[in-house]
Structure 1
Amino acid sequence: MKKNMMKSSICLALVLVLVMSLAGCSGNAGTEEGSETAGETVKIAVMAPLTGNLANIGEQFKQGVELKAKQINEAGGVNGKKVEIEYFDDKGDAKEAANIAQLIVNDEDIVAVVGSYTSSVCFAATPIFDKVGLSMVTPSASNPDLTKNNKVMFMMWTGFNVYAPMIADLAITELDGKDIAVIYAYNDWGIGVKDYFVERAKQLGGNIVAEEMAYDGDKDFKTQLTNIKSKNPDTLVILTYYAEGAIIVQQAKALGIDVQYVASGTFIEDQFLEMAGEYAEGMYAINEFVADDPRPSVQEFVQAYKEEFNGELPGNYQGNAYDALGAIIHAYENSGETREKVNEGLHNLQDYQGISGPLTFKDQEIVKPQVFVQLKDGVWSYYKEASIQ
């Protein structure tokens, strides 16, 4: 009898030790410094190119998101919860994006997504997010077709159907261009921007003397530029990404194309300035904002960014990622905490105070101010508020 009692006591003790051990393990899960247990955070995915040729863009997304998340959390969070960010590297590749999107939707704690960079990546991810009602706010993609046939893709960058005509007004109305040559990226974005630009330019009486294509990754544009030079334009409009754009500017100047240069907002990059150097001095572009933009909301963001990132100046991608997260959290706080409610809140977003002013989503496209900028002494500087004349 005593022997049986001893065995029972030993078994009971072992069970108690096991239970306490399991409890200890459970209590420590997610309690490392800077983390929260499940249900105590608002979990947001950031989908961006974090490696590869576009990694610098992904880093800018991260900077904008991290600044906004820090500000929200230091102010007490949202609905009593901290904002938690999880990053996913799509490498700027459409095939990779589809796989990443599936990983994101499988995590039911994620209530919305900031990302991605290119329209092609967003096109690949959108159908997957749309099936489960998971909202995606892109800081940069601007193809207006992205918002068609779905309810979840929101564009924080103004659509090229809006800003491309403004580039035409800049080139013709503001800068008195008459004979216009265009070189554009041969992809969905570049073709779309070019088409809207040309349509508006012709409405304004501009004479389009040349339309030349630039393939992504190309480094020799002398054939296209030689043809452009033969047409005697007074204005060269470059609608490419910054890497190709910097090479185009260098080679055009080397060929003696001494005309007015105008570009899309894709040129507002430190890497463009490093690559193009003095060849780009004096050119104009359109943008969401620049660091010397006098609007108080812009200056408030610029100062906060400089304090957080050792005096560096922010650009479009940091700013739009910052506003993308802000819009999502605004929807979460005011409409509800589920994916469905966040989506509803984004559809109803109106006059949310963003960096460049009040932000409104109309048919999932952002409505907000634009500015014209000029490169002066190696710095993109505020020229004037952009508009359609």
Structure 2
Amino acid sequence: MKKLTVCLLVLLLASSVLFAAGGAEQKSGAKEIVIGVFEPLTGENGGGGYQEVLGMRYANKVYPTVKINGETYNVKLVEADNKSDKTEAVTAAQSLISSGASVILGSYGSGVSIAAGDIFLDNKVPAIGASCTNPQVTLGNDYYYRVCFLDPFQGTVMANFAWQEGAKKAAVITQLGDDYSSGLGNFFLRAFKELGGNVVSEQQFQTNTTDFKSILTNIKAANPDVIFAPSSIATAPLIIKQARELGITAKIMAGDTWENSSIIENAGASAEGVVLSTFFDDADPATAEAAKFIEGFKKYLVENKQPDIIPAVSALGYDAYITALKAIELANSSKGSAIRDALAKVDVEGVTGRIVFNENGDANKDMAFIKVVEGGQFKFLKTVSVI
């Protein structure tokens, strides 16, 4: 009897180890493949992370299965909250590896994505970023891909927009230790100088700062035409309101993270005229997949008690999911290494446009949407492309 018990325990342990290594799980006769969701649902970037997750959840609702070797597998999403923190990001990434994920989606926030990159690489489980725009996310990591444009492009787009609007002097505000904020700020700064612009003030702040009046007072004295302040959703309304309270009239600009309705709600009338770059506009669907997504996702947002305004990061989350499915089908396998190899060859018609990857694992995106806050809403201004 004891021998039988020991054998059963050994068999159970062996099967759990096999599952933890990645691949498909057999449950009640239905095969299952796990896709991990590596996103911040709490912390400084929790609001944006939730929007990105909603896009992934909706994609899973629209496409709940995938075919491997002619067999249908149910796709199970396993979510891990990286809490907008680099240390927590490592723990969250490890938990997704332990869940048996064959591929992982995320994250909102370049810093946490970079922090988790080696975990995915070492375990040979590919990750597909949705909106993590810092070049370091994929650089030197054969197991990290992404479906968004990059910060060098985004920074250049915003510098060119400022210059074309007549700005000759700019101030830049960035967050210390935040890869997204410091990276995008520097790309804007470099591009603006190359155009002939003058950067009259460079200011930095610590994480969890709530009082920006000191650095904004320095900026006011420099009298810039524009302030470029790429930062988190939580920080944005504080910078905007305090700038206007100090009587600063310069145009305030930022990157993709600022496309969140909570910024307008919290900044109120002070948000009027704020300009940002983003990945998607539901008034101008680029593909048939986009048209289908817009109609269905607006209903899904209402079901989840969200405004029926589609965040660009939700569209990217959806695209990351369908790209993962395409790679799984192309690989004809649930093994991470095979899916990684297939990702290099995918060609997907996504919501945000065609998705094919270059040698670094970055999507060949060449278009950004410029939006402005007008009448308490984000309004489309123009599309900017580069060749």
TM-score of the superposition, structure 1-length normalised? 0.84
Query: Which residue matches 1:134?
Result: 125
- Distance across 2 between alignment mates of 1:93 and 1:259: 32
Stretches of structure 1 lacking an aligned partner (at least 5 in a row): 1-34
Q: Output the aligned Cα RMSD.
A: 2.1
Residue 225 (structure 2) aligns with: 234
Please name the residue that 2:34 is paired with: 43
The answer for the alignment partner of 2:237 in structure 1 is 246
Question: Out of 319, 340, 344, which is 2:341 matched to?
Answer: 344
Counterparts in 2 of 1:295 and 1:148: CA distance versus 1, 3 Å? closer
Q: Is the 8 A contact 1:140 1:155 kept in 2?
A: yes
Q: What is the Cα deviation at residue 288 of structure 1?
A: 0.2
- Deviation per residue, 1:167-188 (Å, 9 max, x gap): 1011112x12111112122222
Residue 164 of structure 1, CA deviation: 0.9
The 5 Å alignment of 1:243-282 reads: 243-282=234-273
Contact 1:50 1:89 in 2 (8 A): yes
Amino acid at match of 1:343: R
Residues 1:366 and 2:356 are matched in the alignment: no
The answer to whether the Cα contact below 8 Å between 2:174 and 2:229 also exists between their aligned partners in 1 is yes
Number of the residue aligned with 1:377: 375
How many residues of Structure 1 are paired with residues of Structure 2 in the alignment? Answer: 350
Instruction: Give the Å deviation of 1:388.
Output: 4.7
The secondary structure found in structure 2 opposite 1:78 is: strand
Select which of 157, 174, 184 maps to 1:184: 174
Instruction: Quote the residue 1:354 is aligned against.
Output: 350
Cα pair 1:138 1:156 within 8 Å, conserved: yes
Contact kept? 2:319, 2:351, Cα under 8 Å: yes
Q: Does 2:67 correspond to 1:78? A: yes
Q: Secondary structure at the match of 1:290?
A: coil
Percent of aligned pairs with the same residue? 26
SS in 2 for 1:361: coil
Distance 1:139 1:249 in 2: 27
CA change 1:305–1:278 in 2 (3 A) is same
Alignment partners' CA distance in 2, 1:58 and 1:239: 17
Question: Is the contact made by 1:152 and 1:343 (CA closer than 8 Å) also made in structure 2?
Answer: yes
Q: Max radius of gyration: which structure?
A: 1
Q: Deviations over 1:92-138 (max 9, x none)?
A: 22222222322322344x21001222222222221121112101112
- SS of aligned partner of 1:218: coil
Q: Deviations over 1:161-212 (max 9, x none)?
A: 2211111011112x12111112122222222112211111111111111111
- Work out the CA distance in 1 between the residues paired with 2:44 and 2:188: 28
Counterpart in 2 of 1:301? 293
Distance 1:54 1:208 in 2: 28
Q: 1:55, CA displacement in angstroms?
A: 3.1
1:328 aligned onto 2:324: yes
Contact (CA 8 Å) 1:331, 1:346: kept in 2 or not? yes
Q: Which runs of 5+ in 2 are unaligned?
A: 1-25
2:45, 2:109 within 8 Å by CA — same for their partners in 1? no
The alpha-carbon deviation at position 342 of structure 1 amounts to 1.0
- Cα deviation, 1:336-357, whole Å, max 9, x if unaligned, reads 212112111112233x111121
